[in-house]
Amino acid sequence: MHPRRRLPGRSRRLASGLAATATVALFLLAGCTPAPPPPDSGGGGADAALRVHLEQQLAWGGCEDTATNAADAELFANPALECASVEVPLDYDEPEGERAHIALLRLPATGEAEGSLLVNPGGPGGSGTNLVAMTLPLWQASPVAERFDIVGFDPRGIGASTPALDCYTDDEYDAGAALRFGVVYDITSAEQAAELAERCAEGSGGIANLVNAGSTNVVRDMDILREVLGDDQLTYLGYSYGSQLGAMYAATYPEKVRAIVLDGAIAPDLTAQEFRVSQFTGLQARFDDLAAFCAESPDCVLGTDPTAANDRLHEIVRPLIETPSTADGREVSVWDVYLGITGGLYSQARWPDVVAALTALEAGRADEMLALRDTFYGRTADGAYPLDLDTNIAVRCMDWPRLTPEETTALARKVGEVAPMFDLDVFTAANYHSECAAWPAPPTADDPWLADVEDLPETLVVSVTGDPATPHEGGIAMARALGARLLTVDGKQHGAYLLGGSECVDDVVEAYLLDLESPPADARCNL
């Protein structure tokens, strides 16, 4: 294995701190399915109309035009980083028609570049340009960056990529006026669903922009990125929903795969509803762990009996249903509180922050819980939301089979059963409609979203045993479906490579990325 350059006394602390912020895009996941294999997008069989996209030359330069908020502007100003934009068809059925633009940010290899490592942080809605810039010190300490350009990309609709997809403004998210998510979205009528679809189409510049955001198009974009970056085969790292994109790419373009790492891999063998239930089951398990951790202190805000922690949590948050709190001039609702708790459950390192925020909330102070909520959403100090929640909705509505009102309501009730921490009437007792019920185009998905794939190059799945958002069973199923090698990581966190501060994990992943050295079948690490 290649030796790692370390930042003495800093790398593990930095990784722990970034784990909470670099994975905020990973909770609102969507099931999706690859479409029938698209036409060959490289070589002699390529569509003539697509060739203009494949042959474009990248103009790498400064990143000032790629940053979409003040926080990114500060990150992207680092002279080690370069940015560019790639044109892709808005609609692959009309490759000579309107174009979308995919934003790229790269850390050039410090040695002779052998290719590019394409990185996606998940979501849908996460920005790859932001992830690479935010984790820059970790990449600079990694041997991968000696031999590969590290390239983050913003999938269509996200970050600096265009067209932008907008249903609500940042101010509306701040004010609690945007669509709210508890266990399902708080849509209780067909009229509300129609209003959502209408405002999303209007805010996104038209229906065509809105309905071409699905994962199948993102995967085709990835193949154009591979070609334009000059790589015969794809080397890729995808976290969470990014693992779904990687698996779809492998299934669609198996001959174009060099190395694919799927970290926080999702379950390809579950229906969208089953997967959602598995996520909330994982969150409840981590809340149970947090309650046991808290109970070690005699003044635990959740009490000293972990089995009663759900009821105790309800006592703390129930008053906010009728009378939201305030902090920093903003309203803090019960919806915000549960988003804050959820974000804190993503990493064991954040459990003390959740306990502290609940303690302050019971005492009438909501500022710490609001900070957790803002971290979960990736909100910056200037009020921007880099996690693109509207694109998340658009992607899911194109990827996810539509649920009837009866199915959506049953899903809410089921989540209340498997995750009693959420079992409040405001989350589970209404009659719900799918947020996608009035979407202006039908979905392109079936359940489950991926069948077993044969004759793939060996890929690598990284799965944490106590992952709260993509349970370990899903990682096992992903490895089985792809015939991939599985790295099991003991810990309680979402995402492991670079973000977990584990030399064991980093060394295994880097040996695979650099030299295609797969770990033993029973490989195991700890966070």
CATH number of 232's domain? 3.40.50.1820
Q: How far apart are CA 418 and CA 414, in angstroms?
A: 6
Catalytic residue of the set 278, 494, 502, 506: 494
Residue 15 sits in the same domain as residue 153:
yes
Give per-10-residue mean pLDDT for the chain (527 aa).
Answer: 41 48 43 40 56 94 95 96 98 95 98 97 96 97 98 97 96 96 97 98 96 95 98 98 96 96 95 94 98 97 98 98 96 98 96 98 98 95 92 94 96 98 98 97 80 85 97 96 96 96 97 98 96
Give the residue among 188, 115, 198 at the shortest CA–CA distance from 151.
Answer: 115
3-class secondary structure for 17-50?
Answer: HHHHHHCHHHCCCCCCCCCCCCCCCCHHHCCHHH
Q: Is residue 428 part of a domain?
A: no
The pLDDT value recorded for residue 49 is 79
**CB neighbour list of residue 486: distance below 8 Å, 6 or more residues apart:** 461, 463, 475, 476, 479, 521, 523
Q: Is 53 a catalytic residue?
A: no
Q: How many domains does the chain have?
A: 2
- Within a domain: 199: no
Identify whether residues 98 and 159 lie together within a single domain.
yes
Q: Are residues 513 and 463 in the same domain?
A: yes
Among the candidates 325, 358, 377, a domain finishes at: 377
Pick the closest to residue 117 from 385, 383, 509, 523 (CA basis): 509
The DSSP call for residue 68 is: -
**Rounded CA separation 63/296 (Å):** 48
Task: Please say which residue of 361, 377, 393 terminates a domain.
Answer: 377
- Please tell me the distance from the alpha carbon of residue 12 to that of residue 505, in angstroms, as a whole number: 12
Known catalytic membership, residue 467: yes
| Same domain, residue pair 253 and 344 | no
Q: Are residues 287 and 257 in the same domain?
A: no
Of 329, 362, 377, the domain-final residue: 377
* pLDDT at residue 18 in the model: 52
Residue 56 counted as domain residue: yes
Which entry of 16, 240, 278, 434 is annotated as an active-site residue? 240
Phi, psi of 41 (to 5 degrees): -105, 30
The answer to whether residue 482 sits within a structural domain is: yes
Residue 434 inside a domain? The answer is: no
Does one domain contain both 464 and 336? no
**Domain with 370 in it:** 279-377
Cβ 30 vs Cβ 241: under 8 Å: yes
Do 149 and 289 share a domain, yes or no? no
Residue 450, pLDDT score: 84
Q: Based on the domain organization, do 329 and 457 belong to the same domain? A: no
pLDDT at 448: 76
Helix 472-482 and helix 272-295, axial crossing angle in degrees, nearest 10? 140
| pLDDT confidence of residue 307 | 97
Q: Does residue 326 sit in helix, strand or coil?
A: strand
One-character DSSP codes across 389-447: HHHHHHHHHHHSPPPPHHHHHHHHHHHHHH-GGG--HHHHSS----TTTT-SS-----S
Is 240 part of the annotated catalytic residue set? Answer: yes
Domain identity same for 51 and 139: yes
Is residue 186 a part of any domain in this protein?
A: no
Active-site choice (433, 467, 502, 506): 467
DSSP code, position 360:
H
Q: Is residue 382 part of a domain?
A: no
Domain membership of residue 82 (yes or no) is yes
Helices (H), 150-271: 170-174, 190-203, 207-211, 215-228, 241-252
pTM for this model (two decimals) = 0.93
User: Are residue 245 and residue 311 in the same domain, yes or no?
Assistant: no
